[in-house]
Amino acid sequence: MDNLQDFDMTYYCKFQPSTRRCTEGRSSRKYFFDIKLKECVQFEYGHCNHSYNMFGGRHVCLDSCREVYHEPVSDDVTFNVFCRYQPDFGDCNNYYPMFYYDVSDGKCKGFAYSGCGGNRNRFSSAIECLDICGLLVYG
């Protein structure tokens, strides 16, 4: 699966919001579902490419994501999908420094991984992360 329009909220609610600004000085307040907080969080949408985890209001965000964010997603997706996932600590109690691709900055950033669970936007080095996700047009 590769076409982003073919997915549902189970996937979209796990995507990172796009905070990159493409229009000088223009932004809008929107909400995205934060998988770590399990809550909808306000962010400044910079009118770049569409952010699939983006809602006009907090209640719409909660109604869309609260029941589906914990549902598993298929591992049978391409980098065009999994590089958009939010970094996910996972379900265990260990600590491993890893890297994830940040869609707004087009860079790989560090985060902590527990050792189990999580998603495929997780790499052991920034080089590996960029080799795979750097082809994604960020934003």
Each domain of the chain, given as residue ranges in start order, spans: 4-65, 79-133
Q: 103, 138 in Cβ contact below 8 A?
A: yes
Q: Which fold has domain 79-133?
A: Factor Xa Inhibitor (4.10.410)
Confidence of residue 9 (pLDDT cuts 50, 70, 90): confident
Alpha helices per DSSP H over 18-120: 58-65, 79-82
Say yes or no: do domains 4-65 and 79-133 share a fold: yes
- Cα–Cα distance measured from residue 133 to residue 78, given in angstroms and rounded to the nearest whole number: 10
Q: Between 73 and 138, where is the model more confident?
A: 73
Q: Does the pLDDT value for residue 130 go beyond 60?
A: yes
Confidence of residue 5 (pLDDT cuts 50, 70, 90): low
So what's the pLDDT on residue 8?
A: 78
CB atoms within 10 A of CB 69: 18
Q: Does the pLDDT value for residue 2 go beyond 80?
A: no
φ and ψ at 118, to 5 degrees? 80, -155
Q: Which fold has domain 4-65?
A: Factor Xa Inhibitor (4.10.410)
